[in-house]
Structure 1
């Protein structure tokens, strides 16, 4: 038996002052969250981090840290045999 340690999923971007508005920021975060959920993330496990900088720029990170799965060494994640 082995422990599958998946890589986290992350979508991120940085935007300069003037490249975004509060409305476009909300839309961007919603889009990123939906993309991560399409990759299999339960909505409750999707984390959002928005960093607003003093110069008016913003950094957005939407991520999902997949849980480790204990499994049979003869299978890959998702239960599909090799």
Structure 2
């Protein structure tokens, strides 16, 4: 089935995020989450250059992951 070139309204912001507690993730599972989120954003129509990834790790071992589509980037 053919999908439209872009599924969402062009100016609508897109962000996928999650928080993981200490012990809920490993570096490998974190990378898998990141790639899954990036793929979801790609599937919505983002170019690779428009995908922004931010990972924050706390001293306690938690992680906050945000993958967003920056439509202002070429």
The reply on whether 1:29 has 2:34 as its aligned counterpart is yes
Runs of 4+ residues over 4 Å off in structure 1: none
- Tell which structure's C-alpha radius of gyration is larger: 1
Gaps of 5+ in 2: 1-8
Structure with bigger strand share is 1
The 5-angstrom pairing of residues 1-82 of structure 1 reads 6-67=11-72
The CA deviation at 1:20 is 0.2
Whether the aligned pair in 2 keeps the contact of 1:52 and 1:59 (CA below 8 Å) is yes
TM-score, scaled relative to structure 2: 0.81
TM-score, scaled relative to structure 1: 0.73
Q: CA RMSD in A?
A: 1.5
